[in-house]
Copies of this chain bind each other. A is one copy, B any other.
Amino acid sequence: MRVSAKADYAVRAAAELAAAQAEEAPVKGERLAEAQDIPLQFLEHILLELKHHGIVRARRGAKGGYWLARPADEVTIAEIVRAVEGPIAHVQSTPPEDIEYRGNSEHLQAVWIAVRASLRSVLEEVTLADLVSGELPSVVGELTSSKDAWVAR
């Protein structure tokens, strides 16, 4: 139930690309790495994965760099996380709907499905455009408004 460095890096780099989308010019990996303080070579692997998933495009050579394949308001955080981490909320590496629970844990499946749905309700709602503008969807506002949400437990 944790977020990997890779996923965090990927979203941050994508946010930089979203912000640079107006510029109409590719952004160098080096600039992304510096802006978000991410090891360059590691970031390049991540960007490659994002490219393979059709989230990012790239060109080599002088004047080369990376840019978003789609408008920033059409790319969700969920997509980016899935691209680098794989499916969200798998249990024992299999999707919860495929697991058979017996005996007294029969209803556990519904709980894991609910967990996944709740994750989706956040990650699939927030787009890169929301992220860079700071105008996050209302679901985020509701979840973060309580003081309680900001303390560890």
Interface residues of A (CB under 8 A from B): 1-5, 7-8, 11-12, 15-16, 18-19, 35-37, 77, 81-82, 85, 87-93, 95, 97, 101-108, 110-123, 126, 131-132, 134, 136, 139-140, 143-144, 146, 149-153
Partner of A111, one of B4, B101, B136: B136
Partner of A115, one of B16, B91, B119: B119
Q: Looking at A2, A131, A134, which has the most chain B CB atoms within 10 Å of its CB? A: A2
B103/A117 in contact, CB under 8 A:
no
Residues of B within 8 A of A12 (CB): 101, 104-105, 108
A108/B11 in contact, CB under 8 A:
yes
- Closest-by-CB residue of B relative to A92 is B5
A143/B131 in contact, CB under 8 A:
no
Q: List 7 A-B contacts (CB under 8 A).
A: A1-B85, A2-B89, A3-B91, A95-B152, A108-B131, A117-B144, A118-B143
